[in-house]
Amino acid sequence: MKNLKKIVSVLFSAILLFSATTTSSVAHEKLHFVIGGGAGGGWDGTARGTGEALTKAGLLKSASFENMSGGGGGKALAYMINTKPANTILVQSTPLVLRSITRHEGYVKGTGTLSYKDVVPIAGVIGDYGAIAVAKNSPYKNFKDVVEAYKKDPSSVKMAGGSVRGSMDHLIGALAFQAAGADPNAVQYIPYDAGGKALAGLLSGETQIISTGLGELMGARDQVTIIGITAPSRVSDAPDAPTLKEQGYDVQFVNWRGFFGPPGMSDSERSALAKILGDVQKTPEWEAVRARNAWVNIYNPEGKFVEFLEKQTEEMTALMKKLGVI
Amino acid sequence: MIEGILIGLTTALTIQNILMVMVGCFFGTIIGMLPGLGPMTAIALMIPITYGFEPATGLILMAGVYYGAVFGGSTSSILLNAPGVPGTVATSFDGYPMAQQGKAGKALAIAAWSSFAGGTLSAIYLLFMAPSLSKVSLSFRSPDYFALMILGLTAIAAFSSKGQFLKAMMMVVLGLMLASVGQDSLSDITRYTFNNMNLTDGISFVLVVMATFAMSEALTIILKRNDPTSAAKQVSLTELGSIKINKEERTKMYKTIPRSSVIGFLIGVLPGAGATIASFLAYGMERNVVNDQEKEKFGKGSVNGLSAPETANNAACSGSFVPMLTLGIPGSGTTAVMLGALLGFGVQPGPRLYMTNPEIFWSIIMSMYIGMVILLILNLPLIPYIARILAVPKNYLIPLILFFSVTGIYVMSFNNFDIYLMIGIAVVATYLRLYDFPMPPLILAFVLGGLMEENLRRSLLLSNGSWEFLWDRTLTACILATTILIVVWHIYKTFKKKN
């Protein structure tokens, strides 16, 4: 009898709790997305796409967006920290971690190095894996060929990437070479100012391999052979692209995109937002947005997200020290 | 190919697609006229709307916005010296002086016809050569781009005549200095940012253009308001002038348009250049080939000088579809957004596109012809009305220009720092103008300088620090040799004239 009572009360509270959480997610009246870059960029697409899916799926009543360019996203970050706006979240991605390692000074007056710890990580929602590719007519057929050629003559392999030294594109390639037992700092990295230009550089023959995000290569899949991606297993959008892991190189890297709240955001609000960001991924409205952007769902809420960010910071710090960029 | 044309026509000539071309061209023209708001932003915001459409329809709409903006951008360049899109900056070099001489209607008509011809001719090149052109896209390496930028800098000669040489060179240096602000494109080091994060992304091209052209022009007019010559000018400007292009001008255009369309199209095909570079190069090249009498008019309202960049920017616009469609490589921000949309439709660009989705490839080309005709019909009859802007009294017009400059730059970045920076640069530019410093060399150096540095340093990285890359490749050596020839020729001419 006593047991039955206990079960009933547990059930009852469970129902209450369930209804409480559902009401709190429906209760999301409005959400303001702060975007640290201009219209048409990656952050912009993530925020607007997420906002669109959330409202269409009925998890959010109204979404508003604000582009705030400057300092490679630093302006928007400083805005979140300084003004602590209500009902507002910031979209960010891997560069937040990288910048916290290299240089983060000057974002907020009187503080030194800033990191993701200065805002409230809510959830990572999507990601793009890194990829290494060669031109279709390249003599290299897999990453092993590249490593062997590199070991014979380090200057024979030049690696193109769509951003500066020490950027994500550079780190993806360096990680792969490091896993192959090569000195990542001796790999010649040739920076370009956009992924498309790096691709043109590869195809014109001035570099031998390209290291960038898988998403950048999707448009040119007929021109390049992807010889390794940094995912734990093959991805459905590019089933013919082998992982580096299956070739025996233990490399995993994901360029995440996620949302952050202002400092001082309450735990309940944070959990509620993390929940709707997760729930939305099960809806057809999200699927429509995801498919047209070729995003990979990588939902990583709250504590798990923080853990992930800590691990990424650690790995990247070690690598960037080796590369001499910090 | 005939089969392809037929497939393209059947797709492009459906009522829905013709409507899309019209809508795209109309919005593009308006976006192009407004300073600040460019085709890239407009297309990015348009993408969610296009997802209900067939891929071909969506792309036809986006392409219409793109070339419509380049077409419409010339209007504000010519009338207000406030280029609407980066590709039409060179249009203002001769278009604005021409309008100031009371020939605004004529300048707009020349621009419209040149744009039309440039767009149509390049669509013909696309039709016949697209498959082989993808090879051209990939034939340029970093050293070649470097050489091309050097060649582009020779266009500065157009602004350095009659004792202006030193001033033009000083403006070049100033332009190069402004271009070096911000994060260095190769090594993640920030330069001249004074620890201000608003400067870490560098100064945007549009901001510099608005500050040195639109705003400083407006400020100069305010400062010179009591100048009797400008009052007389105001009276003459209220008369629009004829929009008819006379026979002499037409003969000039017949020569300029074919060569500029080829230059523009080829530069547009290169993923590392684009419409802005194409228009500057065509302008510089045009000045090198015209006769001495016409050369003197460059920068002061030359027909060739207006027609060349207008033809080239539209040709480059069509050319930029080559690397995007046949290789999947975006050469500019605008084509990158369009490529993303294409992938979103589930269409894989590349050489196979002809086979897998022939209707997309051919219908875009066909829609370009339709689009060009629509733009011409849309623009020509409107010229008398649009040119009336100049008849607006200056005390209304100037605040409007200032208002559009400020809001235009703000909607680009949503960063008020950019407004302060623009005003700062505009004030400096106004002082320089009063002392007769020419602004175009600054803009040229700003655009070409950044690319030149980046490609030079990349070439050095690729050649392990050796300068051999300057003559290692035939293409690089040829471009550099042409540059040297042009410079030597100019020096020789100048000496000959003096003696």
Domain of residue B348, residue span: 2-498
Residue B237: what pLDDT? 59
Residue B231: what pLDDT? 55
How much is the mean pLDDT over chain B? Answer: 87
CATH topology of domain A29-128+255-312+319-323: D-Maltodextrin-Binding Protein; domain 2 (3.40.190)
CB burial readout B102-130, b (16+ within 10 A) else e? bbbbbbbbbbbbbbbbbbbbbbbbbbeeb
Using only C-alpha atoms, what is the Rg of chain B? 22
Residue A18: what pLDDT? 46
Q: Is A58 on the interface with B (CB under 8 A)?
A: no
Cβ–Cβ below 8 Å for A69 and B348: no
ipTM of the complex: 0.87
Compare all CA atoms of chain B with the CA of A208 and give the residue at the minimum distance: B462
Q: Which residue has the higher pLDDT, A231 or B38?
A: A231
Cβ–Cβ below 8 Å for B197 and A102: no
Q: From its phi and psi, is residue A164 left (phi > 0), alpha (psi between -120 and 50) or beta?
A: beta
Q: From its phi and psi, is residue B194 left (phi > 0), alpha (psi between -120 and 50) or beta?
A: left
Cβ–Cβ below 8 Å for B340 and A293: yes
CATH topology of domain A129-247: D-Maltodextrin-Binding Protein; domain 2 (3.40.190)
pLDDT tens sequence for chain A (326 residues): 455 555 555 555 555 444 444 444 444 788 999 998 877 678 888 999 999 999 999 999 999 998 888 777 888 888 898 889 999 999 999 988 887 776 544 444 444 556 788 899 999 999 989 999 999 999 999 999 999 999 999 889 999 998 888 888 999 999 999 999 988 888 899 999 888 889 999 999 999 999 999 988 888 888 999 999 999 999 888 899 999 999 999 999 999 999 999 999 999 999 999 999 999 999 999 998 888 777 889 999 999 999 999 999 999 888 888 887 77
pLDDT at B277 over 60: yes
Q: Which residue, among B21, B64, B62, has the nearest Cα to B45 in the 3D structure? A: B62
SS3 A23: helix
Q: How many whole angstroms from its chain centre is CA B172?
A: 19
Cβ–Cβ below 8 Å for A207 and B138: no
DSSP state of A213: E
For chain A positions 214-243, those within 8 Å of chain B (CB to CB) are: 218-223
Of A75, A188, A218, the CB nearest to B197: A75
For chain A positions 180-199, those within 8 Å of chain B (CB to CB) are: 188, 190-194, 196-197, 199
The total number of structural domains in chain B stands at: 1
pLDDT at B458 over 80: yes
pLDDT at B118 over 90: yes
Of A72, A155, A165, the CB nearest to B187: A165
CB burial readout B400-439, b (16+ within 10 A) else e? ebbebbbebbeebbbbebbbebbbebbeebbebbeeebbb
Size of interface A-B (CB pairs under 8 A): 154
The pTM of the whole model exceeds 0.90: no
